[in-house]
A and B are shown apart, each in its own frame.
Chain A
Amino acid sequence: MLKALHDQKGAQLLLGFLLGVGFGFLLQKGSVTYYDVIINQLLLKDFTVVKIMLTAMVTGMIGVHLLVGLGLAQLHPKPGSWGTLIPGALIFGVGFGILGYCPGTAVGAVGHGALDALAGGVLGMLAGAAVFAALYPKLASLLQKGDFGDATFPRLFGLRPWPVVIVVALMVTGLLYAIENAGL
């Protein structure tokens, strides 16, 4: 791993910024910074969001597992529990359907002048995060319910990563092919 680079604080802030510029550029070029595109995905009329996410997932999955295999990276799977994921993801989903942006795409939308994403989305997200921080001590015990740590599917099933990577890549590619074939 490039540990010397990882430890350089200033260089890391610059790298974060540059990677973000690339990410924002791609999100806008993919048109997923637009409310219309996201809401049409959630209404199952336009599958642009899913196509981008799944293609990014497969590309990144193969690349990151290669880097890990070469000793150039390590995984950072997020820990989770039923208590965090079920309520949290559903509340997020409800917000996603109402707002029509997620955190990254809302910021990207501000970049092309979407004022609802700025004055509504970004401000609302800041308030939501602040209220969560305030309630966190009260929620802490619920958040630990059904904790399964930072498990990954290969570890869960006692498999080496590559067979899982290959199967997931083939399944997702098949799904994308089916979506494209269905004209969505």
Chain B
Amino acid sequence: MDLFTMDRWSPYAVGIGIGVLSCLAFLLSNKPIGCSTAFVRSAGLLERLFRGRKVDDKPYYRKFAPRIDWEWMLVLGVLVGALASAWLAGQFEWRWVPHRWAAAAGTSASIRWLVALLGGFCVGFGARWAGGCTSGHGISGTLQLAVSSWIAAVGFFAGGIATAMLIYHVILG
């Protein structure tokens, strides 16, 4: 069981594992692994609580119906799997402010929360605009040699690197 309680695995072992899971997803479920449609389906489910069934008529929710599907269950599984891994390694810890952020921007939980909310908004909005995220385009799409996914992956990292550099070297630098 040492393997399961270890702090950290080699990135190459983890990468091979994720590659194998991707193959299993194609073989057993005829689907590529992805994480961002679960968010739009959940947003639709939440909107439905307030506005009722007419939410289903929105053109985007006709494409991605607000319901619990394979990918939604996959995202739920990610939560459980990460929890299990952290728990076994004794790494579970409630934390508002990551160390790296605290060292550069201070330990205020409310500032980190507002920044994360803004970042999360752009991630959710951009993932739907681009039609996928770092999983759906970045791994599952690139491994299929899809042209769209390679362009998306370059864009994700170009935007991410420029923004992180701006935050850490200019704004907080």
Interface string of A111-155 (1 = CB under 8 A from B): 111111101111111111111111011011001000010111110
Question: Would you call A56 and B144 a contact (CB within 8 A)?
Answer: no
Give complex CA distance A44, B134 in Å.
Answer: 17
Residues of A within 8 A of B71 (CB): 16
Knowing A103-B134, A119-B113 are in contact, say whether A13-B70 is a contact too (CB < 8 A).
yes
A-B contacts counted at CB < 8 A amount to: 545
Knowing A22-B21, A136-B59 are in contact, say whether A35-B151 is a contact too (CB < 8 A).
no
Question: Would you call B162 and A2 a contact (CB within 8 A)?
Answer: no
Residues of A at the B interface (CB closer than 8 Å) are 1-2, 5-6, 12-36, 39-40, 42-44, 48, 51-61, 63-64, 67, 72-81, 84-117, 119-134, 136-137, 139-140, 143, 148, 150-154, 156, 161, 164-165, 168, 176
Residues of A within 8 A of B143 (CB): 56-58, 60-61, 64
Residues of A within 8 A of B122 (CB): 91-92, 94-95, 98-99, 124, 128
Ordered by A's residue number, 12 sampled pairs between the chains whose C-beta atoms are within 8 Å are A5-B28, A19-B24, A52-B15, A52-B18, A53-B134, A63-B22, A86-B155, A91-B125, A107-B82, A110-B79, A111-B82, A124-B120
Question: Would you call A29 and B141 a contact (CB within 8 A)?
Answer: no
Knowing A16-B77, A35-B100, A53-B15 are in contact, say whether A97-B30 is a contact too (CB < 8 A).
no
Interface of B is mostly: helix
Question: Would you call B100 and A15 a contact (CB within 8 A)?
Answer: no
Question: Would you call B141 and A20 a contact (CB within 8 A)?
Answer: no
Question: Would you call A106 and B120 a contact (CB within 8 A)?
Answer: yes
Q: Does B126 contact A (CB under 8 A)?
A: yes
Question: Would you call A80 and B82 a contact (CB within 8 A)?
Answer: no
